[in-house]
Each structure stands twice: as C-alpha cells, then as structure tokens.
Amino acid sequence: MTAVDTHFQVDLERLRRAAEQAEPKLLDGKRISQALLEQVCEATELLGERGIVPQLNVVRVGNDPASAIYVRHKIRACENVGIGSSHIHLPPQITQRDLLAKLERLNGDDAVNGILLQLPLSEHHNPNEAIAAIDPQKDVDGFHPGNLGFLMAGHAELEPCTPRGIMTMFRAAGVDFKGKRAVVIGRSMIVGRPMAQMLVRAHATVTICHRYTEELAEHVRNADIIVVATGVPGLIKGEWIKPGAVIADVGMNRSEDGKLCGDVEFDAARERAALITPVPKGVGPMTVATLMENTIRATCAHHNLAIRGGEVYEDVDALCGPLDQ
C-alpha cells in the first residue's frame, strides 16, 4: 500500500467493470470517472454520519474565460458528490501580497479541507510562490513543492490530479506497466513530470520528450504506453503508433473546423492502438473526479480517518502498516 491510499482506498474492481463497458479500443474516462465519483459520494455520506462535511475552496484570480468554465465544472462536481465548495473570485489587480494573505487565511480555516488555486493568475503574480503558500495538507491539486517531493520519494498523500487520474484509468483498464516502454510527451509540472514519476513507480521504463527532442516519431514508434500533453493539435501522427500501444491524450484543442480535438490523430491512432482516450470524455473527467478523490483524502487525513470498503476506521497507522516503497 502506498501513502496515497492511506486514508481513502478506491475499489478498483468497480472501476474495472466500468471500463469494460466502453466501446472497443476506448479508454472511456467518462464511464470510469462516474464509477470513481460514486465511491467519493459514498465516502461523503460516511463522513456525514460523523458530522464531517468535506470542504473545497477554489480561488480564481481575474477573468480568464477558460478558467471560469473549469471552476464551474469543479463546483458542480462538488455539488454532485456532497462536497461543500466555495468559489473565491479575486480581481485581476489583486497584489501578490494580498493573494498570499488570502491563501494563508484559508490555510488557518479548520473548516476548509482543500484549497485549489486556479491557474493562470494575472501576469504580475508569481504562481510558484502562491502555490508554495498553500498548506500542503490542503493542496488538493498536488502542486505544492513538498507534495511533488513526496511523490518523488514515494510517500505522496496528494498527487497531481491529471496524471493520477490517468494512472487510475490505466489500472481500471488492466494496463500492464512492468518493463513496458512509456513515452511522456510534454514536461510540465502539471502533467508531464509527475506523470513520468508515477509511471516509473509502476515499474515502466520512461522517456520524457519535449520541444527539443530529436526524432520524436522514433520515440513514439517504440512506446507501449504514450501520454501526450502538449496543446498542439494532431502532433502525434497515427502512423507513428506501435500496434497494441495504450494512449492517453491530455490535449484539448480546437481544429480548423472548430471541433474539439486532442494532440493525437485520433482515428488513425485508434486503428493501431489497443486503447486510446477520446477527446473530449477521456482525461478531462478523470481529472475532475480525482480532484474530488483528493478532497476526500485530505478530509480523512485531517480527521485521522481511513475509508475502506464502505467502513470508516480511526486507527489509521494500525490499519495501513508499512508502506510499499
């Protein structure tokens, strides 16, 4: 058992049943996320019986249209699973000092279990300093440098939502990681680098590619597992895909005809792949569901509780035993 499972353990078999209902070759994030959210909802009910209501506060700065949409999705997800939520919308001109003070007040609020700072901030802000100001035990996005360090060390309680959601989806679909060649395209702290670390932890052999990588096609052709997060529509060509590969496409772009598309040429890649995520209804729903999962995990950790198989346990240390390194 890893640290991330200490306080809230998901029933993977229920996720597998959801994955089996997908269309051929599809990693259906929508179905798997619903199965995960059902378990989150059950957890909120169990906590409610003890008078505990998980609380997520989302802080948004400025008027970025995409951020407004993302926040609405997160608040709606909270409402659907019984997590309390608050959207704190700050003006774009707020100073860095006042932003940090606001985050500090949320850190000290015992009723708040999770804090999410929606990016991007205004140009004059230092996002790294703001993220580092969040209490790591309330950092449900998993971006705090302390939590990223724990991820590297194998003791993370809260992990970045998108890569964590992808790993959950892979496991639900029965993907085998051991000894497989995994290629992560994109090296951001939000997806690429934590994704690579999680795949290493699962015993895959991992290569990270980025804008300066030479012969990208050759790296992709040799990959058993591919995760793409570049924001470049159709960057990964279908003909590059190794037959039987598994693909997670994090991209969310608009094609020239206005349709949503990913970073992978979907139709051509699907012909060769064993599994591929659609865009939309692939990685996106898993990211939001994992945010809800992290909020439950942070709530349980705050109250020194663990949830397993529909039961709540108080003696967490005795229940978990030694962690798997």
Q: What is the pTM of this model?
A: 0.95
pLDDT tens track for 126-185: 999 999 999 999 999 999 999 999 999 988 999 999 999 999 999 999 999 999 999 999
pLDDT of 61-110, one tens digit each? 999 999 999 999 999 999 999 999 999 999 999 999 999 999 999 999 99
Domains of the chain: 3-11+47-159+289-320 (3.40.50.10860), 161-283 (3.40.50.720)
Q: Which residues are annotated as a binding site?
A: 186-188
Quick: pLDDT tens for 207-259. Answer: 999 999 999 999 999 999 999 999 999 999 999 999 999 999 999 999 888 89
Choose, from 28, 39, 74, 102, the residue flagged as catalytic. 74
For the annotated binding site for NADP(+), the residues are: 186-188
Closest CA to 304 of 113, 134, 141: 113
> Is position 141 annotated as part of the catalytic site?
yes
